[in-house]
Amino acid sequence: MRIYIRTPLVNKSKMIPHTVEHCAGFFNKKINEFFDFSQGLEWEISTDYTCFEFDRWVKYEDMMEHLFQSIKKEYVAYEHKVLKEELWDPEYVQKIYEELLKVFLDPEYNINKYNSVTREEVKKYHKKYYKPENAIVVDEEKGYKVIFEWFNPKEKKSKKLEKRKEKFKFKDNKYIVYILNHYNGENYRKAFFCYRILDYYMYLINRYTNQKYYYQSNYFFKQEDTLFVLVEDADYSKLDKEFF
């Protein structure tokens, strides 16, 4: 089961929502309670939501209560060191995402750099966003069935979709970036489908033509109103144009 909470950036920085994610998911149970309340299987924070995964036998109401209870000050102090370590050398995917945001949206974006934040900032943010009005619970084993939904993720309003294609270079790797502004649900699903197909296409080329073992080379990102589909810069001329 998963709880998704809407957690926007603060002044284009992820530091406060990221600290809140660590503190809200803090495992404060005794170790022998582990199997009664298995919470932190996986947490994930993106630039506009945070996802907490938990076992199916845990009632979602209990999980919500756990996440929404006020954050203890010792958690903030404890997690500072953990965050510093995590952000000391972020993964490639995090670095390339930040670079994309800086280049194509705003140079002010900060996703990976460690900044210290105060306990008050953490508490204020937690109080503002960690509440049922901001949450959706889904059961991914039942085809992402929505179990609890306070707000309806509505289709985007009628701003016209803008598409563009750019070249992008990052650490000696060359990409083509498809940028979609003002996307709606349908555009999102189509873009995700194309990303998966092109990923599989690159796998076949690399594996069976270039004699390479495959590594992930394509990426799919979103930030607020913008989608990015990043694909390895290659010859796609053999793909059926009409299909796309």
Residues in touch with Zn ion (CB under 5 A): 86
CB of 156: closest distance to Zn ion in angstroms?
29
Q: Read off the DSSP letter of residue 109.
A: -
8 A C-beta contact, residue 37 and residue 136: no
Judge whether 161 and 181 are in contact, CB under 8 Å.
Answer: yes
Report the alpha-carbon distance of residue 44 to residue 1 in Å, rounded.
13
Beta carbon nearer to Zn ion, 86 or 139: 86
Smallest gap from Cβ 94 to Zn ion, in A, equals 10
CB of 83 to Zn ion, least distance (A): 6
Asked whether the beta carbons of 43 and 51 are under 8 A apart, the reply is: yes
Choose between 97 and 183: whose C-beta lies nearer to Zn ion: 97
Question: Would you say 44 and 37 are in contact if contact means Cβ atoms under 8 Å apart?
Answer: no
Taking the C-alpha atoms of residue 10 and residue 20, their distance in angstroms, rounded to an integer, is 12
- 39 within 8 A of 58, measured Cβ to Cβ: yes
Q: Least separation, in Å, of the C-beta of 22 and Zn ion? A: 6
Q: Which residue is nearest to Zn ion (CB)?
A: 86
Q: Look at residues 3, 62, 67, 71 and name the one whose alpha carbon lies nearest to residue 36.
A: 62
Q: In angstroms, give the least distance from the CB of 86 to Zn ion.
A: 5
Half-sphere exposure of 85 (CA within 13 A, CB side): 6
The least distance separating Zn ion from the CB of residue 131, rounded to whole angstroms, comes to 22
